């Protein structure tokens, strides 16, 4: 299959590994990309993001060269998905310090709306994956509204000045800060209590002054959040239990 979106060429294929296992993958040819990047999505889909002109045989060679990483990553993704709670009417959804009740309805036009403490997902012939994708879209929208405003408030309090803020779907990070002062935040921060969300935001703001985890960095963290050690421990425990 081949499709085009914003000049990105997409091909679906299969790659065989030495042990005989065959795995589906998707090759994305991206005009602005200069290097090959292998990705395993949150849903366990294997992706090769490569420069324009990269062939399927080159993609499969790249995958085989990292076969242990690929197979282990896919195994971990399967385990993670199997441990996630099912999403259906009655499921409780964390939203900062709130706890929303999911209600699924059938309808021709997909939508997600909130009324008080209930989150309504309207979707036709809904599968759990459809529900999960709709919820992810809604949470991303809420993150784009809330996180930059909250970051700005904390930055003003700390006397920090990020150059740019973006909201992303990061697989292994809650957030990141570049040497140019660009802060990226994971939309899944909306699934955390505000104490832990603030911990991540302050963490990235501290990186504007110390782009490392040196003693000076942690001293600044403790100055901003005295119980940062306890919050960090809570954050590390909660990652594997996220519902989305």
**Dihedral angle sign, alpha carbons of residues 103, 104, 106, 107:** positive
Q: Which of 50, 65, 83 is the last residue of a domain?
A: 83
- In the block, tokens 């292994």 appear at 172
- pLDDT at site 147: 98
How many C-beta atoms lie closer than 10 Å to residue 223's C-beta?
A: 12
Bridge partners, residue 203, by sequence: none
Same domain, 13 and 79: yes
- pLDDT at site 2: 38
How many C-beta atoms lie closer than 10 Å to residue 47's C-beta?
A: 16
Instruction: Confirm if 9 and 52 have CB atoms less than 8 A apart.
Output: yes
- pLDDT at site 190: 98
Tokens representing 134? 């709709």
217 lies in which domain range?
92-241
CATH of the domain at 109: 3.30.2010.10
Q: Which of 83, 107, 131 is the last residue of a domain?
A: 83
Same domain, 102 and 74: no
170-183 pLDDT per residue, tens: 877 899 999 999 99
Distance from CA of residue 87 to its chain's centroid?
Answer: 18
Same domain, 134 and 102: yes
Q: Which of 62, 83, 104 is the last residue of a domain?
A: 83
- Give alpha helix (H) positions in the chain: 56-65, 67-83, 128-158, 194-207, 215-224, 228-238
Q: How many residues belong to the chain?
A: 244
209: nearest Cα among 223, 196, 197: 223
Per-residue pLDDT of the chain (244 residues; tens, 9 = 90+): 333 344 567 888 999 998 888 999 999 998 888 899 998 876 788 999 999 889 999 999 999 999 999 999 888 878 766 666 678 899 999 999 999 999 999 887 889 999 999 999 998 876 777 888 899 999 999 999 999 999 999 999 999 999 999 999 887 789 999 999 999 999 999 999 999 999 999 999 999 999 999 999 999 999 999 999 999 999 988 876 788 8
The domain tally of the chain equals 2
Same domain, 113 and 231: yes
Same domain, 35 and 18: yes
- pLDDT at site 4: 38
181-206 pLDDT per residue, tens: 999 999 999 999 999 999 999 999 99
């Amino acid at each position: 299959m081949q499709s085009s979106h914003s000049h990105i060429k997409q091909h679906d294929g299969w790659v065989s590994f030495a042990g005989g296992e065959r795995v589906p993958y998707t090759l994305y040819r991206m005009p602005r990309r200069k290097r090959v990047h292998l990705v395993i999505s949150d849903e366990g889909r294997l992706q090769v993001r490569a420069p324009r002109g990269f062939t399927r045989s080159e993609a499969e060679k790249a995958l085989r060269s990292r076969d242990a990483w690929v197979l282990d990553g896919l195994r971990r993704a399967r385990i993670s998905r199997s441990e996630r709670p099912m999403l259906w009417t009655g499921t409780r959804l964390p939203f900062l310090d709130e706890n929303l009740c999911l209600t699924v309805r059938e309808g021709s036009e997909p939508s997600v709306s909130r009324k008080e403490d209930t989150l309504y997902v309207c979707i036709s012939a809904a599968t759990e994956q459809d529900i999960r994708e709709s919820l992810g879209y809604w949470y991303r929208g809420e993150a784009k509204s809330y996180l930059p405003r909250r970051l700005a408030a904390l930055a003003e309090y700390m006397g920090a000045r990020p150059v740019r803020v973006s909201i992303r779907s990061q697989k292994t990070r809650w957030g990141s800060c570049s040497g140019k002062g660009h802060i990226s935040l994971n939309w899944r921060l909306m699934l955390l209590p505000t104490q832990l969300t603030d911990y991540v935001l302050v963490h990235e703001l501290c990186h504007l002054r110390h782009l490392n985890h040196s003693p000076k960095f942690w001293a600044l963290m403790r100055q901003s959040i005295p119980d940062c050690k306890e919050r960090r421990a809570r954050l590390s425990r909660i990652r594997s239990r996220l519902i989305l």
